[in-house]
Chains A and B, each alone.
Chain A
Amino acid sequence: MAVVASETPFHVLAVDDSLPDRKLIERLLKTSSFQVTTVDSGSKALQFLGIHDDDASTVSVHAHQLDVAVNLIITDYCMPGMTGYDLLKKIKESSSLRDIPVVIMSSENIPSRINRCLEEGADEFFLKPVRLSDMSKLKPHILKSRCREHYQQEQQHQQSDSNSNDCSSPTNKSSSSDSSRKRKAEDNEEILPQKNRPRHS
Chain B
Amino acid sequence: MAAAALREQLNALLSSMFASGLVDDQFQQLQMLQEDGGTPGFVAEVVTLFCDDADRIISELAALLEQPIVDFDKVDAYVHQLKGSSASVGAQKVKFTCMQFRQLCQDKNRDGCIMALAVVRNEFYDLRNKFQTMLQLEQQIQAQQ
Contacts and interface: CB of A to CB of B under 8 A. Distances in A.
Interface stretch (A125-133, A166-174, A185-193): A125-133
Nearest to B82: A18
A28 B30 CA distance: 10
B80 A78 contact: yes
Query: What secondary structure prevails in chain A residues at the interface with B?
Result: helix
Given A19-B53, A20-B50, A27 B33 contact: yes
B39 interface: yes
B140 interface: no
Nearest to A80: B77
A80 B73 CA distance: 13
B49 A19 contact: yes
Nearest to B51: A20
B84 A128 contact: yes
A24 B43 CA distance: 10
Contact of B45 (A18, A23, A107): A23
A21 B88 contact: yes
Contacts of A19: 49, 52-53
A129 B83 CA distance: 11
Interface string A127-155: 01101100000000000000000000000
Given A23-B49, A129-B88, A18 B29 contact: no
B26 A129 contact: yes
Contacts of A24: 30, 46, 88-89
Interface string A1-38: 00000000000000000111101100110110000000
Contacts of B97: none
Contacts of A131: 29
Contacts of A23: 42, 45-46, 49
A200 interface: yes
B99 to A, nearest CB: 11
B36 A128 contact: no
Interface centre among B29, B32, B36, B84 (most CB of A within 10 A): B84
Interface string A58-92: 00000000000000000000101000000000000
B84 A21 contact: yes
A19 B89 CA distance: 11
A129 B29 contact: yes
Interface string B76-101: 01001101110111100000000000
Interface of A: 18-21, 23-24, 27-28, 30-31, 78, 80, 107, 128-129, 131-132, 200
